[in-house]
Structure 1
Amino acid sequence: MTMLDPGERAARGLATQAEVTGLPATAPATLIEESWRDFIYAEVWTRPGLPRRPRFLVAMATAATCGLEEARLDGYVRGALKGGHLTLAELREAALHLGVYSGWGNGGKLDRAVSRVAEELGLPPAEVPPICPEPWHPQARNDRGHAEFDKVMTFPPGPPATPFLEGINNFVFGEMWCRRGLDEPSRRWITLVGVCESGAEIPIRSHIHAAMASGNCAGGEMLEFVLQYGTHAGWPKASRIQAVVLEMIDKVAKGLPWHG
C-alpha cells in the first residue's frame, strides 16, 4: 500500500488555498487552521467529482448562510473572480438567487462581499439587467411563472392560492429563475444550499430530485455537493442530506417522482 506524505498534502493545501482565495497562503498557526489546509483545501477542493465553478457557488452560499467570517466569504469571491470561474455580473445574480432561498439578509451578505472584492480588484460595475424594466401584464407573469416552475421542478405547479404561493409563482419563477444572466445549473447549487439549510423536508426532497431529474446535476456531483456543503454546515446536517441524495439518485434512475 502506498504511503501518503503529510508534507505533500500540506503543500497541496497551501497551493489550493491560494488559488481558492486569490491570496498567498500562510502557514497555519492553530489546529483548526491546519485542518483547513490539510482537509478542506488539500482534499475536498481538489476532488475531481465536482468542477470548481459549482464548488465556489456552494462555498459562497454556505459561507453566507452558516456564519463564516467575512474574510472567508471575501476569499471565495476573490478566488472565483481572479480564477475566471464566475464573472462579476454572475455573482450579482448569485446574490439575488441566494436572497430568495436563504433570505434577503444572507443574499445581502454575499452582495456586500462582491462589492468589497470588486472595489479591491478595481473592477468596473457589472452590467446586469434590472428586475423588470417594462410594464407587464399580471397574467403573462403568472403564465411565465407556471412554465418556468414546470421546467425547473420537473412537475407542474398547483394554483397560487395564497400570498406566499403567489410570490413563488410570480417573482421566484416568473422573474428570478427566468433571468438568463446565471445559468440554470449554477442556480441549482445555490438553491440546494438554501433548501438544505432550511431543514424543510418538502423543499429538500423536491429540489434534490429536480436537480438530477432535470439533467442539471449528475448523481456523482450531488454526492460531492454533500461533502462540500458539510465542510461549512457541519457533518450532522450533511448526513441528513446524504440520505436524501442517495434516495433521490435511486428514484431518478427508476423514473420515479420525489414523493411517494
Structure 2
Amino acid sequence: MALLDPADRAARGLATEAEVTARPSNTPATLLEESWRDFVFAEVWTRPGLPRRPRFLVAIASAVTCGLENSQIDDFVRGALTTQALSLAELREAALHLAVYAGWGNGGKLDRAVTRVADELGLPPATVPPVCPEPWDPAVRSQRGHDEFAQVMTFPPGPPSTPYLEGINNFVFGEMWCRRGLDEPSRRWITLVGVCESGAEIPIRSHIHAAMASGNCSPEEMREFCLQYGTHAGWPKASRIQSVVLEMTDKVAKGLPWHG
C-alpha cells in the first residue's frame, strides 16, 4: 500500500494557502495552525468536487457568519480578487446578499472587509447599479417578486399576508435576487451558508432542495459544500446539513418536493 508523505502534504498546504489568501503562507506555530495547513488548505481546498469560485463564496460567507477574525475574512476576499474568482463588483453584491440571509450586521462586516482589501490592492471603486434607481409600481414589483421566487425556489410562493412575507416578496425576490451583478448559482452558495447558520428547518430544507432542483448546484457539489462549510462551522452543524443534502438529493432525483 502506498504511503502518503507528511512533508508533501505540508508543502501542498503552504502552496495552497498562498494561492487562496494571495499572501505569503505562514509557517504554523501551533497544532491548530498545522491543521489549517495540513487539512483545510492541503486537503479540502484542493479537492476537485467544487470549483474555486464557489469555494471562495462559501469560505467568505462562512468566515463572516462563523466568527473568523477580520484578517481571515480579508485573506479570502484578497484571494478571490487576486485569482479573479470574483470581481470587486460581485463582492459588493455578495455583501448585500449575505445581509439578507445572515443579517445586515454580517453583510456590513463583509462589505467592510471588501473595502479594506480593495484599498490594500489599490483598486478603483466598483461600478454597481443602485438597489432601486427609479420610481416603481408596487404591483409590478410584487409580481416580479412572485415570479422570481417561483424560479429560484422552484415552487410558487403563497400570498404575502404579513410584513415579513411582504419583505421577502418585495425586496428579497422583487429586488435583490433580480439583480444580475451576481449570477444565480453564486447567490445560492451565499444563501446556503446563511440558512445553514440560521438553524431554521424550513429554509434549510427548502433552499437545499431548490439549489439542486434548479440545476444551480449538483449533488456532488452539495456534498463538497458540506465539507467546506464544516471547516468553518464545525462538524456537528455540517453533519446536520449533510443529512438534509442526502435526503433532498433523493427527493430531487425522484421529482418530489422538499416537504412531505
TM-score under structure 1 normalisation?
1.00
CA displacement 1:178-205 (0-9 Å, x = unmatched)? 0000000000000000000000000000
Match of 1:134 in 2: 134
Deviation of 1:2 after TM superposition, in Å, equals 1.0
Match of 1:70 in 2: 70
Equivalences for residues 148-187 of structure 1 within 5 A: 148-187=148-187
Deviation of 1:236 after TM superposition, in Å, equals 0.4
Match of 2:46 in 1: 46
Match of 2:87 in 1: 87
CA distance in 1, matches of 2:230, 2:49: 16
Match of 2:232 in 1: 232
Deviation of 1:11 after TM superposition, in Å, equals 0.2
CA distance in 1, matches of 2:189, 2:21: 20
CA distance in 1, matches of 2:116, 2:12: 28
CA distance in 1, matches of 2:56, 2:25: 18
The root-mean-square deviation of aligned C-alpha atoms, in Å, is 0.3
Note the residue ranges of structure 1 that are not aligned, 5 or more in a row.
none
Deviation of 1:114 after TM superposition, in Å, equals 0.2
Match of 1:35 in 2: 35
CA distance in 2, matches of 1:62, 1:95: 12
Deviation of 1:54 after TM superposition, in Å, equals 0.2
CA distance in 2, matches of 1:140, 1:49: 40
Moved segments of 4+, more than 3 Å: none
CA displacement 1:29-74 (0-9 Å, x = unmatched)? 0000000000000000000000000000000000000100011000
CA displacement 1:152-190 (0-9 Å, x = unmatched)? 000000000000000000000000000000000000000
CA distance in 1, matches of 2:246, 2:228: 16
CA distance in 2, matches of 1:206, 1:93: 23
Match of 1:23 in 2: 23
Q: Letter of the 2:90 partner, please give it.
A: E
Q: Letter of the 1:106 partner, please give it.
A: N
Q: Is the partner of 1:36 in helix, strand or coil?
A: helix
Q: Letter of the 1:249 partner, please give it.
A: T
CA distance in 2, matches of 1:100, 1:157: 18
Deviation of 1:26 after TM superposition, in Å, equals 2.0
Match of 1:242 in 2: 242
TM-score under structure 2 normalisation?
1.00
CA displacement 1:86-116 (0-9 Å, x = unmatched)? 0000000000000000000000110000000
Q: Letter of the 2:170 partner, please give it.
A: N
CA distance in 1, matches of 2:11, 2:71: 22
Aligned residues: 260
CA distance in 1, matches of 2:229, 2:154: 24
Note the residue ranges of structure 2 that are not aligned, 5 or more in a row.
none
Q: Does residue 97 of the first structure (1) align with residue 65 of the second (2)?
A: no
Q: Does residue 204 of the first structure (1) align with residue 229 of the second (2)?
A: no
CA distance in 2, matches of 1:7, 1:138: 62
Q: Letter of the 2:194 partner, please give it.
A: G
Deviation of 1:212 after TM superposition, in Å, equals 0.1
Match of 1:254 in 2: 254
Identity %: 81
CA displacement 1:192-248 (0-9 Å, x = unmatched)? 000000000000000000000000000000000000000000000000000000000
CA distance in 2, matches of 1:155, 1:52: 30
